[in-house]
Structure 1
Amino acid sequence: MASLCMVLVGILYFSLCQCLLFSSTENIGDNLDWKVASRKILELEKLVKDQNDRISALEKRQPEAELKSQTEFIQKQNARISQLEARILELEAEGNANPVESSHLESHERVSESKQNDISSKRSSIRKSRLILQPTTLTVPTAPNEEVAFFAYFSSNLVTSGANHFILAFDNVITNVGNGYHHNSGTFIVPRSGLYVFTWTIRLNLGNRHTTELVVNNNVVNSIHLNPQSNIDGTCTGTAVVHVYQGDDVLVRTGSNYNSGFITSDAFGRSSFAGWMLH
């Protein structure tokens, strides 16, 4: 399974490099496709950072739970790879639907040396991230006896475009004891095995509607739905008590259907995500 995951990751990065090469030779500069590709690079860099955090957490993993965590990690990476591959195909389709005029090609030949160096730097970053994702020999020290708790909320309204299984990355972190919550990905990586309480609150108004789910290692633990009328401003809260293991992933995402509009979060009411360890 681990070898298959590494092969899939390699294919993903090779596909992304092809996408970047296409953008750099045919539509670089101020073109929208190139900007989208640049954003994807930044997302991958954030993903690499999260993987470093995951490796650190797995190094503290209890021996009896290590195999379970690695299997679930591979499943999540496969899902992530599929999402990124789909996005790359969309970018390639957009590029094919908007062929570059000959005048643009001449302009591309005059791309400054600084931009070319920037492209090389980004490709180097991708190659480094491949190495980081290679299998690592894990050590398993005894986990310290410390408290674990986190709380974060959206700093502003979040537009989900009605997407299904859209991960809600609560960006404004108020509490993060144990450093398990990662605001870039919206994922809580369990630092210590134990019994935890997780709760999330979603605020909606103006006819927006959403189903949201609490997910542990791609398994839906609990879900809530709110569909206020156009003149109603309301909130809905979900809670779960679940035993999780060190290295497990816990996140909130939109459901499989009944999603429309944006999620509200401002000074009058926050959409938030929190969790803490009972014992």
Structure 2
Amino acid sequence: MTKFNELQKIVSLQDKRISELEKRPMEPVVQAVVELQNTVQLQKARISDLEERVFQLESLQTNEEQKPNTSLGREMLLEANETNANLNVNLVRKGRLLIQPTSLPIESVAFYAYISSTVPASTPHHILVFDKVITDVGNAYHSHMGTFIAPNSGLYVFTWTIRCYSNHYHSSELLADNNIVNVIYLGPGNAIDGTVTGTAVVHVNQGDDVFIRTGRLSNGNILSDENGRSSFAGWILV
């Protein structure tokens, strides 16, 4: 009905324009009048079609109210139910697509460094500087101070190895954001040269620093040469 009313308004406006143009008997105007008349005829035909459709719809509605169980009514009802069912299925599918977990790419972060030569480490809580950098993906390990500064928040894996010998002994600590995460200890005695390795999986926030320092029980040198390296490594997991 809205479309029908709009077309009637268009026809009225066009009739008014034709009347105005007929007062100006110039050639272009006459041609425009002819075109408008053709357009009006087409619009009137469309209006007639719409009137017929409105009449049919009104008749159908009346019949449905009087005979709700007719074959035509059942067919229309089944068609409407099928349409609604398809719409619900599509909405459910779209909803599932919206709630599907997404796999976001993890920016690669990894480093590995070792101590280039033997260092004295008898002072407790002394930060160990692993000055020889082999790998530094993400440029997050700072060899001049032995500290890794997380470029992104995430779950990280850290591992470090300490070597000592003779009557020297060492405990060493892994700290993340100034919190002790793990501690390892090695006291080889007078007879052996040995290494000890520690590992930790810890969540680190962006900007937090992670480093290795000597623990309370530290005496003597930490070895690192071609026979065995004292090293520090880490990488982002998720």
Q: 1:229, CA displacement in angstroms? A: 1.2
In 1, Cα distance between equivalents of 2:217 and 2:201: 25
Comparing both structures, which one devotes a greater share of its residues to strand?
2
In 1, Cα distance between equivalents of 2:175 and 2:106: 26
Q: Which residue identity lines up with residue 187 of structure 1 in the other structure?
A: T
> Is 1:275 aligned with 2:229?
no
Q: Work out which of the residue numbers 153, 158, 161 in structure 2 matches 1:193.
A: 153
The normalised TM-score by structure 2 is 0.55
Indicate the structure (1 or 2) with the bigger Cα radius of gyration: 2
Number of aligned pairs? 135
Unmatched tracts of structure 1, length 5 or more: 1-143
In 1, Cα distance between equivalents of 2:217 and 2:155: 31
Q: Which residue identity lines up with residue 260 of structure 1 in the other structure?
A: N
In 2, Cα distance between equivalents of 1:228 and 1:183: 28
Q: Which residue of 2 aligns with 1:179?
A: 139
Say what the alpha-carbon RMSD is for the aligned residues.
1.4
Q: 1:231, CA displacement in angstroms? A: 1.7
> Is 1:213 aligned with 2:173?
yes
Q: For 2:218, what is the secondary structure of its paired residue?
A: coil
Q: Which residue of 2 aligns with 1:168?
A: 128
Q: Which residue of 2 aligns with 1:62?
A: none
Q: Which residue identity lines up with residue 152 of structure 2 in the other structure?
A: R
In 1, Cα distance between equivalents of 2:237 and 2:218: 33
Unmatched tracts of structure 2, length 5 or more: 1-104
Q: 1:145, CA displacement in angstroms? A: 4.5
> Is 1:150 aligned with 2:121?
no
Q: Write out the 4+ residue segments of structure 1 that deviate beyond 2 Å after TM superposition.
A: none
Per-residue CA shift, 1:7-48, capped at 9, x if unaligned? xxxxxxxxxxxxxxxxxxxxxxxxxxxxxxxxxxxxxxxxxx
Q: 1:212, CA displacement in angstroms? A: 0.1
Per-residue CA shift, 1:220-267, capped at 9, x if unaligned? 000001001112010000000001111000000001x22100000010
In 1, Cα distance between equivalents of 2:219 and 2:107: 41
In 2, Cα distance between equivalents of 1:184 and 1:264: 19
Per-residue CA shift, 1:58-90, capped at 9, x if unaligned? xxxxxxxxxxxxxxxxxxxxxxxxxxxxxxxxx
Q: Which residue identity lines up with residue 110 of structure 2 in the other structure?
A: A
Q: Which residue of 1 aligns with 2:225?
A: 266
Identical-pair percentage: 60
Q: For 1:1-279, what aligned pairs fall within 5 Å after superposition?
A: 145-160=106-121, 162-255=122-215, 257-279=216-238
